[in-house]
Structure 1
């Protein structure tokens, strides 16, 4: 089942809060985030922000970012003890990070602190109750062993320097996993994530994902992974409805040799070494196809047996004259 992303409405360095508008935005199913770029903007408004944090669920949140030339003082968080969604990202430094231990209502946490000093930050007990977590480590090696106690975590985006990545396999309720800039560490743990539906592998480096066995993942994205050239186990993703492959210059071929009955959307872009995508007839539910900037010959590709379900095709070389001809050919063939 495709994850539904909520629209984010940002309130930037406010001097006052429009409570009526905030409530309307939340009632319409959006997320509302009050964000502060510098301590000069905190004023006395943080107490009012905390009142709203207490009233609303984790769709209402607070973000601290930038603070250029300053280290963010996490003691500031003690002024919003009822916060449920918190973003500490695009920050260079932060201190007094142990203040997170006082945030008993936290359910949604995003940490992107370039010079994060505490490699054991995930050991803070109050963080064990979060349902959604994004954490990126650049300077210190983040210890993921603490995930053994994160029984409620459903959404995880983790990246950078990490150790004990295998502990992610203990997150029994994980529905979404993004691995960002994590190179060559084994992925066998993914086979233990029985509820996983969304998997994104971004940046870093690895040659393949063959450690991943037959699964029920719904949505797979592989983007700009250095050295990636082998997608021969794609049939293991038997429940896939969406496949996105981007910026994989060493990937030469994708073969759908076995039926993938549920694949609805296929997007391949900027894979300059890709010369063949075969077995399209094995995708009986494919509705939307996007192929941009590959080495695939359009005429050879379009004249193979394609699924009858296919209604929308985008095929582009980014060469103006060739793309005009391709567009005309697709229209004649009845594609959107």
Structure 2
């Protein structure tokens, strides 16, 4: 799903509101200082007057035909800068004498990296990327998904014997993945029968990385390929390009329930393209599936399965369906 014009407008409006609030706060604080320190206001007025006078002199100098005009303009600017330095020093003294912090008129931005513009130079800031992705979260139900799938609810009570060993190995792989995120491009591949905790562990990782400010995108395989298909068959080239670039470039892409998307040549080509491009960019993926490794290879062939298995930590999860175990526990408690 690519963001539409209305959504981009909403994002820009949000940034404008951030800047407006900060500007209003600066105005309030400046009025407070002017009331408390009249000389501060006089100094600000003097800076304004000096700037106007300097501009006037430079215009007059530029209108002359003599060779000294550039020299005079430089002298005017140098003189202005020296005066402003003196005034700035005096203003700092006044604030200090009044017990007002030196940065009182420079309150923090919500994002210091981009100064609440959304861009650092010509590049999108992390905060803008995260805001754009938030629309994808809403569409993919990621926020509600993370409420039930995070480390605060981690438990191994549903696993026994070898199942428990496999689960603990998977948890260890998740922690290693998080610790090395950004330095190790390998992702995670969870496979096993339904209800064994694959999606849960994906959510655990996603929540930690989101809290650290990374851009994480989650989609079920079916939803993901439906979105890409819609963009392709609607002939929305711009939308498809934006969508694919987002999927290529996000810090972490999570594809849940691989194999449920209705596997065909189109979906296999898209999957190969996604995996290959993210490998090139060293951006990891997390993939979960109910398929065995043999079925994975049969379904997607070596061209895709080899990329999945060679570029990810492999985690096999096995146990009785946890959803059924939980339902049975509730039923037993109710009987008591």
> TM-score if structure 1 supplies the norm length?
0.26
More strand by share: 1
More RCO (CA 8 Å, sep 6+): 2
> TM-score if structure 2 supplies the norm length?
0.26
The structure number with the bigger radius of gyration is: 2
More helix by share: 2
